[in-house]
Amino acid sequence: AYLKAHYPVEYLSALLSSVSNDLDKIQQYMVTARTMGIAILPPDINHSDSTFTPDGQAIRFGLASIKNVGEGIVESIAQARQAGGNFTSMEDFCRRVDLKALNRRTMEALISVGAFESFGLSRQQLMENIETIYSYAQRHAERKVTGQTSLFAFAAAENGQDDQAAFGEQIAWRGPEAEYDEGTTQRMEKELLGFYVTSHPLDRVQETLPLMATHELGQLKGLSDGTTIQVAGLITNVTHRLTRKNKPMLIGQLEDLSGRAEFVAFSEALETYGDELAAGQTVVLEVTFSIRGDDSYSLVVESAKLVDDVTILDLYFNRPPRFEEVDMIRNVLGKLRGEDPVIINWPGDDTKLVVGKQFWVNSEKAEAVFNQQMADQLPVTAKRRSA
């Protein structure tokens, strides 16, 4: 507790490094860090070590966390930095690292997670020029072994240029604005790091997503078997299978900003909600919590709805309500049951109260009741909005 309170960055960096093979634990500690205002930074060839490390008031991903990046290249990068300081350019990197440990697949992985962004070069620019860059690294390594100068350096000398200028002429740089769209960089980070780092597909709904769920995915352990709950998040992958009775079923992974969980949809749910239960969809799922024999659990889908199709009803109080008025509102909500979350906004500040799912409503009917039928009886205005 003392270390967490006084040295939170160092403490969480050590925790993350200690669970490097447990993706669920890593996500849990990443959530803790962000809750404490500590940023998680992507790998960087000039600032990353092998594992998670403090970087100022943030935590930096380690190079060994990247898929297709082995210990050999991590050690080579560390040795090159120790011998000659930080890398100053892409050319400098190609000249100083040991090419025995750096193959093209590894270089592509480093580019994809943004490890070279300290050079001011986008991932897309580097990937577009990967053939030229890696060919240069190969030729330089070959001539380094034989003691010959590089072809670029030789050509540059003929024209009175230095090697760096000649290297630059071989590359079709298009400026830092030439970058992949956010969805592409998110997919690359997820594939190679196991996590979304620089941004998350759920960022656009991070404020409203918790309003649609009764439980966060990182806080499901301890629930009783058979409990019906509502969860919301991004479907990251799905697998279609057949049951023993030869009926279709689906096993998928749902992820929110707190964690991830496996869900299962059997034939009846698939028939009704098959379109919603696809990888890449952001959904609200009504599920049954099911405990397995090995103490693990799964979520059995009862219904599914796209987050973009969810409507929220905001109730704005014009003044603090009296007890009998709160009771009237409770009765109105109870009579207009539906699937739309309700948020009560208190007057005078930004306090919001999310009502329990038992008081979720048909927002269209509820808006009409509060704003028309009961406008003179209650100090409240109702307003529908999309999630």
Judgement on whether residues 96 and 243 belong to the same structural domain of the protein: no
Assess if residue 333 is contained within a domain.
yes
What's the whole-number mean pLDDT along residues 313-338?
Answer: 91
Please give the residue range of the domain that contains residue 223: 204-308
Q: At what angle do helices 163-170 and 130-146 cross, to 10 degrees?
A: 150
Check whether residue 97 and residue 48 sit in a common domain.
yes
Q: For 302, how many CA atoms within 13 A lie in the half-sphere containing its CB?
A: 11
Q: What share of the chain in percent tops pLDDT 90? A: 61
20, 167: one domain: yes
Residue 331 lies in a domain: yes
> Of 193, 217, 245, which residue constitutes the final position of a domain?
193
Same domain, 48 and 163: yes
56-73 pLDDT, tens digit each = 999 999 999 999 999 999
Predicted local confidence at residue 218, as pLDDT = 87
264-270: average pLDDT = 96
d(C-alpha 95, C-alpha 117), whole Å: 18
Mean pLDDT value across residues 130-155 = 72
Do 301 and 237 fall into the same domain? yes
Q: Are residues 89 and 148 in the same domain?
A: yes
Average pLDDT over residues 218-240: 92
Kindly state whether residues 162 and 64 are assigned to the same domain: yes
Looking at residues 288-311, what average pLDDT do you find?
90
Cβ count near 294 (within 10 Å): 6
What whole-number distance in Å separates Cα of residue 30 and Cα of residue 22?
A: 12
The residues, ordered by sequence, that sit 6+ positions from 303 with a Cβ below 8 Å of its Cβ are 269, 272, 273, 285, 286
Asked if residue 98 belongs to a domain, the reply is yes
> Both 159 and 286 in a single domain?
no
Mean pLDDT of the chain: 88
- Longest alpha-carbon distance in the chain: 91
Instruction: Supply the DSSP symbol for 198.
Output: S
Q: What number is the average pLDDT over the span 316-327?
A: 90
Strands 297-306 and 53-55: unpaired
Structure confidence at residue 175 (pLDDT): 60
Domain boundary, last residue among 131, 159, 193: 193
Beta strands 40-41 and 58-60 are parallel
Is the domain of 52 the same as that of 156? Answer: yes
The string of pLDDT tens digits covering residues 20-34 is 888 888 988 998 998
145 and 24 in a common domain:
yes
Number of independent structural domains in the chain = 3
Residues 81 and 189 in one domain: yes
User: At residue 269, what is the residue type?
Assistant: A
Angle between helices 130-146 and 151-158 (to 10 degrees): 90
Q: Determine the average pLDDT of the residues in 209-222.
A: 88
Residue 250 DSSP SS3 = strand
pLDDT score, position 4: 85
- Residue range 147-198, pLDDT digits in tens: 655 444 545 444 444 455 556 666 666 665 678 999 999 999 999 999 999 9
Q: Domain for residue 169, yes or no?
A: yes
pLDDT at 211 over 90: no
Range name among 9-13, 174-178, 278-282, 383-387 with the lowest pLDDT average: 174-178
Beta strands in the chain (DSSP E): 40-41, 53-55, 58-60, 228-242, 248-255, 260-265, 282-291, 297-306, 311-317, 337-340, 342-345, 352-354, 361, 380-386
The answer for residues whose C-beta is within 8 angstroms of residue 157's C-beta and 6 or more apart is: 149
The structure's pTM equals 0.79
Q: What is the predicted pLDDT for the residue at 339? A: 86
Whether 316 and 379 have beta carbons less than 8 Å apart is answered as no
Asked if residue 212 has pLDDT above 90, the reply is no
pLDDT greater than 80 at residue 237: yes
Helix (H, G, I), strand (E, B) or coil at 239: strand
Confidence of residue 383 (pLDDT cuts 50, 70, 90): very high
Residue 297 sits at the vertex; the CA angle it makes with 294 and 301, to the nearest 5 degrees, is: 145
Tell me whether residue 199 is in a domain.
no
Q: What is the CATH number of the domain that holds 242?
A: 2.40.50.140
Residue 201: per-residue pLDDT = 93
Residue 287 and residue 379 in one domain: no
Between 131 and 140, where is the model more confident? 131
In contact, 234 and 77? CB cutoff 8 Å: no
Distance from the first to the final alpha carbon of the chain: 37
Range 358-386 average pLDDT: 92
Average pLDDT over residues 290-306: 89
Among 193, 227, 262, which residue terminates a domain? 193
**pLDDT for position 273:** 96
| Contacts of residue 27, Cβ cutoff 8 Å, sequence gap at least 6 | 195, 218, 258, 259, 260
Region 103-112: what's the mean pLDDT?
A: 95
In a domain? residue 198: no
